[in-house]
Structure formats: C-alpha cells, structure tokens
Structure 1
Amino acid sequence: MEHSLVFSFFLIFTGAAVIASLALFTRQPLLVAYIVLGALFGPYGMEMVTDTSLLSDIAEIGIIFLLFLLGLDMQPSHLLHMLKKATLVALLSSAVFAAIGYGTGKAFGYTETECLIIGLSLMFSSTIIGIKLLPTTVLHHKHTGELVVGLLLLQDVIAIIVLLALYSTSSGDVSPTTYLKTLLAFPLLIGSAFLFVKYILLNLIQRFDRFHEYIFLVAIGWCLGVAEGAAAMGLSAEIGAFVAGVSLATSPISQYIAESLKPLRDFFLILFFFSIGASFNLGLLDDVIVPALILAVLVLAFKPLVFKVLLQRISESSQMGWEVGFRLGQTSEFSLLIAYLATSTLLIGEEASHLIQATAILTFLVSSYIVVFNFPSPIAVSDRLRRD
C-alpha cells in the first residue's frame, strides 16, 4: 500500500521518537533504534513505508551535511599533515580487509567475481558512524579525531576508485583516461573551492553577516553546490561537501554555520539509518545469516587489531591505536552502495548482495555498542563518556 511522503515522515519520526525513548531508558545507542525501526516499518516488515529508494535519496543529504560540518572543524594545515601520515595505514589495512572478505567468500562457495566484490566491500569503515560518534568539540581538535578523519577520507578516495571501476564495467568504459580525469579532478575541485571562498564567498558573508537567514542559505547553497560539482567531475558528492567545509574552516563564521546546520544534519541522518533497516529483505536472511555472522565477527575482531598494529608502526601509542581501530571497526555505507551497484550491473547475485548488506548492518549495530559504551561520544549512555 502506497502512502504519501508526509505520512511516511510521520511514521518515521513519530516512531523514531517512541523507540528512541525506549532505547535511552534501556541505555541503547540511538542508531540501533533507527535501523530496527526501518526493518519494522519497511517493505519487508509491516510494509507501512514502501518507497525506500526516495528515502535513501533524501537521506544522502544527511551524509553530505555531515561531511560539510566535519570540514568546517578541520584546519587545512592539520588535515594535510594527517593525510600524509595515514596514507600507508589506509592502503595496507584496505588490502588486509579485502583479503579477509575474499577468502570468506571462497569458503562459502561464491563465484570469483562475487568473492572479489565481497572483499572490496570490507575495505571501508563507516564515515557516518565514525564521525557521528566522534565528539565534535573535543576530538576534532585532538589527535584521535584527526587520525579517524584522515583514514576515513583516504578510504573515501579508494572507494571512489572502486565505484568508478564498477561504473566503467557496467558502461564498458575502462580506459585509463577515465581514471586520470577523476584523479585530476580532486586538486582542481580543491583549488576552485578555496579561490571562490577567498575572493567571493567571504566577501558576501562579511557584507551581509547581520542577516542570519542569508548566512544559513549561503552555507547550504555552498555545501550542495560543491557537492554537485564534485559529482559532475567524477568524484563523490560527499567529498565535495567536505571540501566545501574545509574551504570555509579558516573563516570566523565557520563555527556559527556549523551550529546552525546541526539540526538539519540530524534530520536527514535519521532517514539514512531508517532506510538501511528498511531496504533489507528479511526473506533472504536464512540464506546468508551464517556467512554474514562469520564476516561480521571477522570485521569486528580484525579491524581494530589491524589498525592498532599499523598505527603503532607509525609511532602511535597502543591506546590510541585501539581507540581508532574500534571507532573504525565496521564496514561502510560504501559497502551498501557497492552491493547495490554490483547487483544492478549483474556482477553479483541477490544472495551475495544481501550477504554484504547483512554484514554491514550487523557491524553497524555491534560497533555502535562498542564505541558508545567504551569511548567518548555525543550519544554515550554514561555521563562520564558523553562529549558533544
């Protein structure tokens, strides 16, 4: 049964308010509540919200705003230093996680291509969970936050290359020129954004800074404009949003913009996690539950360990390595996108796709519990660990 978008929003946000209240009373992470609600109300549950593709498109805006706000808190000089330091860790860890996924897929009899896609899906950690559970006023300006953000950004670059390869496979365009254009687009985007901010955007903001709604409007327009520009250049909208934020980070107005946009970001992120739960076909759960559980256990066990070992190799402390490892100890939204794209281009079957999805959801849930109960975060259930 089809419902209007307004009715769908009523179900999602009223239901989220109720189940979030229960989650807080029982000291559970709110992200878990949103995913469970999606599974309950979605097309494979009670069928009360059926147009999950529309919700997913809307929810993507939440990811874009999240990366934009993150960029506003990152000074370019600190970020560049951390990216240089974390590159080797990002590359080596991605190779290890890909091998784990590939080997597990082979053990359960999936095809060579499906094993490769499963391996690729394990390479990345969740930008949303990693950053959503990162205190914005504390760790973003400390070493832990810089490491987490640097690794996530490098993984995003690797993910773009993977997605580009999948798109090229579906379209038949696998020329080196396609990859070269994408690699050249990134510095071009950065340079254009900083020049526009320096010579145009900041002048406009300084001239009309007494009109608060104008600042709000310009910030949203700048974020979405650079995001769309990045997408048009072959990059991801998320990376474009981050560049938009970093280009404004040195401006005194950046913190005002960050505070103004936080409620808007949270609105869309609730939709994102709801859509994750709603898009999973519960009817295929029996077919993938065993390999999904094994993959989830391997991810949850080995990601923190691998990150800890590699970070110690670049002179980080053991405690720092464990915390960063646990914060990145899950698969990614990119895993879901890889599964969707690989299925739509017939590279993998429905069962392999749902294996990737089930692994992602399981690691999202368990990893959220681990971080919320053990490390500082804005939604920690303990007053001792709660940091905004």
Structure 2
Amino acid sequence: MHEGTLVFSFFLIFTGAALFATIALFTRQPLLIAYIVLGAVIGPFGTGWIETSESISQISQIGIIFLLFLIGLDMQPVNLLHTLRKAVIVALASSIIFAACGFAATYAFGFSTTESLIVGLAMMFSSTIIGIKLLPTTVLHHRHTGELMVGLLLLQDMIAIIVLLGLGGVSKGNQDVFDYLVTLISLPLLIAGAWLIVRFIFLPLLQKFDRFQEYIFLLSIGWCLGLASASEAVGLSSEIGAFVAGVSIASSPISLYIASSLKPLRDFFLILFFFSIGASFDFSLLSDVMIPAMTLALLYLGLKPVAFRLLLGKQSENSKLAWDVGFRLGQNSEFSILIAYIATSSLLIGEKASLLIQATAIITFALSSYIVIFNFPNPIAVKESLRRD
C-alpha cells in the first residue's frame, strides 16, 4: 500500500469512490463499474497512490462473507433443500458445457492443451457477488428466482472448490484422494455442528440477552466469521460457511433484525471488493490478450443465457424466469481469477493464459453489469422503472 497508513488508504478509496460514484450517477453508469475504474486509476498499475491491493483484497473478502450470511438468514432450510435438488442437474450440465466451449475457443487461439483446459475450467462459474448484488432484495428473499440463483451459485462454489483442490494436487505432483474425501464429508459435518451450536448455545444466549442490541450484533458477527473460518479450515470456502451460519438461524425471529443491522457493514466491504478487482489487474497488458479475451467474453455473455434458458426449461421453469437467471449469471466468477493465480504459481499455465482468464472475467463483470442494470430490475438501476430495492 501507499507509504501512509491504512487510514489514509481508506481515505483515498472511499473519497475516490464517492467522487467516481457521483460521476457515474450523473452519467447514468453502474456504480460497480465506478469502483472498478477507481481501483485501476489509483491502484498499483495506475497512479500508484495505493501501491499494493493485496491487503485491501483480503479485507474486502469479508464483504462477500457478510453477503452470503445475510442471504442465508432469509432462506428456510426446507426451501433451500428443495431448490438445491432442482438446481444440481442444471449446475453440473452447464459447467460441462461452459468448460467444453472455453477449451475449444482457447485452443483455437493457439494455446496449449493444458492451458486451454484450465481456461475452460475457469469459465464454468458465475460471480456470486455480482449476481446477488444486482438482484432486488424482494426477489432474492421472497421469490423462486432468488432461491434458484442462490442454489446454482452454491453448487458452482462446490465445483470450484473441487477444481482448486485438483489444481493443488497437480502442482504437488499427486492428487490426494483423502483431500477430496475430507471435503465431501466436511459440509454435512459443518451443517450438523452448526445446528447443534445454534440449538444449545446460540439461541439460548439470544433469548437470555435479547434486550442488549450491541450483544446481538457482536454475537451475530462472531457466529458468521467463526463458521466461515471453520469452513475454510476443513477445505470448504469461507462463503459456504457464512451461508450455513445464516441458514442455521434463519428460523429465529431475531434473524430480520440481524439482517438489517449488518447491511451497512456489508456494503462497506463490498466497495473494497470491487476496488480490489480494478487495482489487481494491469490494464497496460490487456493488448496482449485483447482479441481472445473479448471473444471469450462475448461468447459467454451470449452462451450462458441460452444454456440456462434451455437447461432450466427442461426443469419446468418458465421462459421468463430462465432468461432472467441466465442473463444475471452471464459473467465469470471471482473463482476464475483465483484459478488463474493458482495455475500460474504452479507453472501449469503461462502469463498470457493467466491474463486471458483475468481479462475475460473483468470484461464480463463490466458488460454483464451493464446488461442487467439497463434491462432487468435491480437495486442500482439508472432507470426509475427498473429500480427495485
């Protein structure tokens, strides 16, 4: 970071975010794009006012954790299980289609078989943070569209974790079956442990001290971050742990209060997240992969809506809902960038292939946000007729 303090870095980020957001609103641009552009401008590859984005990126991950926790708070376990059963076929089939198309397109541009395979794997996933951020709260919490999107994104997270484990095994020269088995049994054990703690510790404490709002706030944050850390420790993602933490107390009457009290904290960290995306990419190198990156980005922005429309249609979902979900999940995922980092550090792919994955992800983040914000109901729409909180 800049040689100044963390406080000074936050001053640059949030003052800059306010300035760029003002410009974005006047010019009718998405706020998410403003934060990414800010990162590119004042980050290490721009003016260098903030010399490294690593610390900011680590802090910003808390925003994703809180986001998944809040989603879980409003999803009843019975409804969630029903949605996951319905989404599993769509998640698996779409992942295979996206991986195959990514492999074929990348190989056609002259990349090696291994690089094409890893690029294809990186293209399988959609962004949890953007998909859910641009979904109206009323749709997310009270309609089938929200439940279906969350189910698909959670299943994609599980697939992504398996891919990351596989890449880690290859980089070490072996694939430890034990690691996969631990991951498979960790989720049910995590859910069971969460249920026991909530029933015998968490809820009794809330009932005893429910008059102290500060205590409820602290206990909720501790529970969210604690289960997120436990999930990460057993080989799952912190996001999955946070979601389980939310679902585990969704039936409690206090869940609505917890959700409303944590929203400002979530937004604080999400601004840091989008800033870190822009700050972590060297846009000066974009020319090296511009043509294949734009080709892949446009391919997936068109392919994903069609694929989800067809797959969800076979699951008896109506056409309007299927198109809606498909366009909202048209972008690549944060996991894509993580796959690029791990594969590069393991010498499985070259710098150009890594840049291709990162550039495609950022381009789809931007273009998908424009598509949703200007055409579908969302909380930050520039058109009054589409704005839904």
Q: TM-score scaled by structure 2?
A: 0.98
**Does residue 324 in structure 1 map to residue 295 in structure 2?**
no
Q: Deviations over 1:309-339 (max 9, x none)?
A: 1000111111111000001001001001111
Tell me what 1:343 maps to: 344
1:284/1:351 contact within 8 Å kept: no
1-side partners of 2:15 and 2:227: how far apart? 33
1:292/1:355 contact within 8 Å kept: yes
**Does residue 36 in structure 1 map to residue 28 in structure 2?**
no
**Does residue 297 in structure 1 map to residue 298 in structure 2?**
yes
Structure 1's unaligned 5+ residue stretches are none
Tell me what 1:5 maps to: 6
Tell me what 1:58 maps to: 59
**Does residue 163 in structure 1 map to residue 203 in structure 2?**
no
Tell me what 1:246 maps to: 247
2:90/2:312 contact within 8 Å kept: yes
Q: Deviations over 1:319-361 (max 9, x none)?
A: 1110000010010010011111111111111111111111011
User: Residues 1-388 of structure 1: matches in 2 within 5 Å?
Assistant: 2-388=3-389
What is the deviation of 1:294?
0.1
What is the deviation of 1:173?
4.5
2-side partners of 1:303 and 1:9: how far apart? 36
Tell me the amino acid that sits aligned with residue 200 of structure 2: Y
Q: 1:225 to 1:27 in 2, by over 3 A?
A: same
2-side partners of 1:3 and 1:273: how far apart? 22
1:138/1:387 contact within 8 Å kept: no
What is the deviation of 1:8?
1.2
2-side partners of 1:251 and 1:8: how far apart? 39
2:134/2:380 contact within 8 Å kept: yes
1:3/1:49 contact within 8 Å kept: no
Q: Deviations over 1:172-223 (max 9, x none)?
A: 4512221011100010001110111111101101111111111110011000
Tell me the amino acid that sits aligned with residue 37 of structure 1: L
2-side partners of 1:365 and 1:312: how far apart? 27
What is the deviation of 1:382?
1.9
Tell me the amino acid that sits aligned with residue 217 of structure 1: L
Q: TM-score scaled by structure 1?
A: 0.98
Percent identity, aligned pairs only?
Answer: 67
1-side partners of 2:173 and 2:257: how far apart? 46
2-side partners of 1:3 and 1:368: how far apart? 33
Structure 1 vs Structure 2 CA RMSD: 1.0
Give the count of matched residue pairs.
388
Structure 2's unaligned 5+ residue stretches are none
